[in-house]
Amino acid sequence: MRIYFTFEPRPNLREPLVKEFPQVDFIFENGLSNDELQKADVLVTYGEDLTDENIQFAKKLKWIFVASAGIEKMPAQAIIERGFLVSNVRGIHKTPMAESMLAHILAIKRALPWVYDQQKKSEWSKKAKQTELRDSTALILGPGAIGSEVGRLLQAFGVVTIGCNRSGNEAANMNDMVSFDQLIEALPKADIVISVLPKTEETTHLLKEEHFTAMKNDAIFMNFGRGNLVEESVLIHAIQSGEIGYAVLDVFEQEPVAADHPFWTLPNVIVSPHISSHSSRYVERSLEIFKPSLEKWLRGETDLENVMDLSRGY
C-alpha cells in the first residue's frame, strides 16, 4: 500500500503517522509528480494540484483524501469517470471559526480594543465601557456545522440562540428556529446577528436595509459566511446611521479590501481579512480525520468519513 502526500506535514506530525501504519509506504513530496502518482494507491492532497492531465497517470489510485473543505479546483468529471473514492475534511473549520467569532464577541463586550489602545498610551484608566455576554440573544443565519458550534459555545455563556435557515427546521444548539421568511420579525430580539451562510443565489443580498433597521441599535452584526450576503453600501449606511452598534467582517464583496475602503477606518467596524478559519493546527486536525479512515481502508472498508459526491459538488 503506497500513500502519496503532495504536501509535507511537519516531522512531529509525519513521524507518528509513519510509525502507526508500518504496513504503508508513505511518500511525502511538496507538489504533485506524475511519476509518483503512477505508483500511488491513495492520494492525499489539498485539492489544488490535481488536473485532468494528471489523472491518466493514476493507474493504481482508488482513494483521494482532500485535506480541504472545498473541491472547486478538482477535475470532478475525470474523477467521477475513474470511480475514485473521494473524502475530505469537512467540518475542520468549525473549531477555529467558532473560536474566532467568540473571540470577537467577547473582545467587544469586555472592551479589549480599548484596553489595548490604553496600553499603547501607557495610560492607566478604568473608564472601559464593559458589559456582559451572558443573557444576550444571538441570531445565527445558517446553523450548519459551523453555526451550530458557535451556538453551542454561546449557550455555554448563557446566550439564547435563534437559528435561521430556509425551512426553519430544527438545528443543533439552537433554542429557537425561524425561517428566512420570518427573519425580519426575529431580528429585533437579537443582540448579536451572525451569518455563516454560503454563497448561493438565495443568499445574495439576503440582508437589505430593512433588516438593519429592524436590528437593535447596539447589535453586533458579524459576517463570517460570504461577502454576497449584503451590499457594502447598505452595511456602511447601517453603521454610519447608528442602526447597528458593531460590524465584524471576515468576508467581503471584494477581497482583498482596498486600502482606501471606508471599512478600514469606520468606527465600530472590525476588518478580519478572511482568516477566521486559519489555524496552525490545520494539518494536525486533517490527520486526525485521515487516520480513522485509513484504518478502515486498510481493513477493506469504504464507508469513510466525509465521502464526497462530486457530481453534486460536496
- Shortest separation between residue 282's beta carbon and a second copy, angstroms: 9
Contact 198, 142 (CB under 8 A): yes
Minimum Å gap between C-beta 191 and a second copy is 12
Indicate the residue among 242 and 273 with the shorter CB distance to a second copy. 273
| Strand blocks (E) in 150-245 | 160-165, 176-179, 192-195, 220-223
For residue 245, give the DSSP letter.
S
Q: Which is nearer to a second copy, 80 or 258 (CB)?
A: 258
CB of 104 to a second copy, least distance (A): 7
Question: Cell numbers at residue 86, please?
Answer: 473521494
According to CB under 8 A, which residues from 114 to 153 bind a second copy?
115-116, 118-119, 122-126, 128-134, 152-153
How far is residue 225's CA from residue 192's CA, in Å, rounded to a whole number?
15
- Considering only CA atoms, give the Rg of the chain: 23
Cell numbers describing residue 275: 482568516
> Is 160 among the residues that bind a second copy (CB under 8 A)?
no
- Name the residue nearer to a second copy (CB basis): 16 or 313: 16
Binding of a second copy at residue 256 (CB under 8 A)? yes
- Compute the distance between CA of residue 102 and CA of residue 108 in angstroms, rounded to an integer: 10
Among 281, 295, 301, 302, binds a second copy (CB under 8 A): 281
Please tell me the chain's helix, strand, coil percentages from 3-state DSSP, rounded to the nearest 5.
Answer: 35, 15, 50
Binding stretches for a second copy (CB under 8 A): 95-96, 99-100, 102-104, 106-107, 109-113, 115-116, 118-119, 122-126, 128-134, 152-153, 156-158, 255-257, 259-261, 264-265, 270-276, 278-281
